[in-house]
Amino acid sequence: MRDSINICIAGAGTIGTALGHVLAEKNNLNVTLLSVESDVVDDINIKHINTSYFPQIRLNPRLKATGSNTVLETAHVIFLAIPSVAVVPYLNSMLDSICREAVIVNLAKGFGTDSETIVDDLKRIVPNPVCTLKGPTFARELINHMPTAMTVGAEDESVFRLLKDVFDSTTIHTDYTTDVKGVEIMSILKNIYAIIIGIVDAHFDSPNLRFMVFTRAFNEMRHILLKFGGKQETMFRYCGIGDFGLTALNDLSRNRTLGLLIGKGFFSDDISGKVVLEGRIAAGVISERLFTMQVPESEYFMLAELNRVFDGGYNIKKFIGSIINNDLPPVPTNGH
């Protein structure tokens, strides 16, 4: 491990600020937030606070911020903490600034371009080692030093060892898998199925029903994961059951909240066109991919039913009956 590691976190929103605050406590890490918001940069550097995102949290004074892309030139590790739709265009625009040896870590949860995972897209445009970091992580918990778990998905074990050293002696705990595709797909699926759990909970405050649907959803997610080339064992990493549970069952989750609003009847056709949450977007993309792969709709009937909700004109009172009165997808015979 290097005596000193330069960390650049692209994006000074909630997760970027929380991660930077935690890592800045280590004396061997030089942590800088890269932001396009000049007021955020000034707040962090002068007042040691991010008024826009954590107005009541005093940040570690070792955490710096900048609006200059030159920080990328000396970064050993670059965390991408920006919205999923912006990651690929952003990195494309920064190619000349990034050190070729820097490890690039994707934190965004969603698709890149052309229905490919973000990591797949990034690997096509940069020569750098690229990995993914996903897990049951609310930024509000992370910044308050609650123990937090995340999965490193990397093809090269040396990347995991580097990140393990970065997170050593912090509140961030990691596990590791070479199934990068699986980690990325699970981070997409958990948002979709969290919406479904939200719809169910909006109708019934029933633990029996909630965990019946939760189990069926997890099984359908497994089926889709394998279709996309992920490994079944990845579902039992932090990025799998942990992240799905956090997103589906906690009211801090935006996608679960969307499900609650739909279930309560607050999802009009007018609102439908304006909602751009990751789960809503991903539901359509995943369905299109499965259709192209000629996977029968009976093997992803919960997802298909959710897309019918998004299409409009759906009687939401029929949703729960529709998703539980179907046989579970068969156990895959090509499990990894």
Q: Give the CATH number for residue 43.
A: 3.40.50.720
Does 274 lie in the same domain as 136? no
Would you say residue 35 lies in a domain? yes
Q: pLDDT tens, 51-77?
A: 999 999 999 999 999 999 999 999 999
Does 71 lie in the same domain as 216? no
| Domain end call among 163, 178, 193 | 178
Tokens 């778990």 sit on residue? 149
Residue 30 backbone dihedrals phi, psi, to 5 degrees: -100, 105
Would you say residue 276 lies in a domain? yes
Does 270 lie in the same domain as 125? no
Does 189 lie in the same domain as 174? no
Would you say residue 219 lies in a domain? yes
Rounded CA gap, 85 and 26, in Å? Answer: 31
Rounded CA gap, 317 and 217, in Å? Answer: 19
Would you say residue 336 lies in a domain? no
| Domain end call among 131, 152, 178 | 178
Quickly list H helices, the chain.
14-23, 38-42, 84-93, 118-125, 139-143, 157-167, 180-203, 207-227, 243-249, 254-263, 269-272, 278-292, 301-311, 319-324
Would you say residue 334 lies in a domain? no
Q: How many CA atoms lie within 13 A of 81 on its CB side?
A: 24
Q: pLDDT tens, 28-48?
A: 999 999 999 999 999 999 999
pLDDT, residue 115, reads: 75
Does 189 lie in the same domain as 77? no
| Domain end call among 154, 178, 202 | 178
Does 252 lie in the same domain as 190? yes
Q: How many residues does the chain have?
A: 336
Chain centroid to Cα 324, Å, comes to 27
Q: For the CA atoms of the chain, what is the radius of gyration?
A: 20
Does 148 lie in the same domain as 102? yes
pLDDT, residue 333, reads: 59
Res. 85 pLDDT band, cuts 50 70 90: confident
The residue among 268 and 314 whose pLDDT is bigger is 314
Catalytically active residues, by annotation: 190
Does 196 lie in the same domain as 306? yes
With a cut of 70, say whether residue 162 has pLDDT above it. yes
Calculate mean pLDDT across residues 257-277: 72
Chain centroid to Cα 91, Å, comes to 18
Does 306 lie in the same domain as 165? no
Q: How many CA atoms lie within 13 A of 124 on its CB side?
A: 11
Q: Token pair of 41, please?
A: 């940069």
Res. 15 pLDDT band, cuts 50 70 90: very high
Rounded CA gap, 239 and 42, in Å? Answer: 34
Lowest-confidence pick of 85-89, 134-138, 158-162, 265-269: 265-269
Does 119 lie in the same domain as 21? yes
pLDDT, residue 216, reads: 95
> What is the secondary structure of 188-205 as a DSSP string?
HHHHHHHHHHHHHHHH--
Does 189 lie in the same domain as 88? no
Domain with 193, as residue range(s), is 181-324
Domain count of the fold of the chain: 2
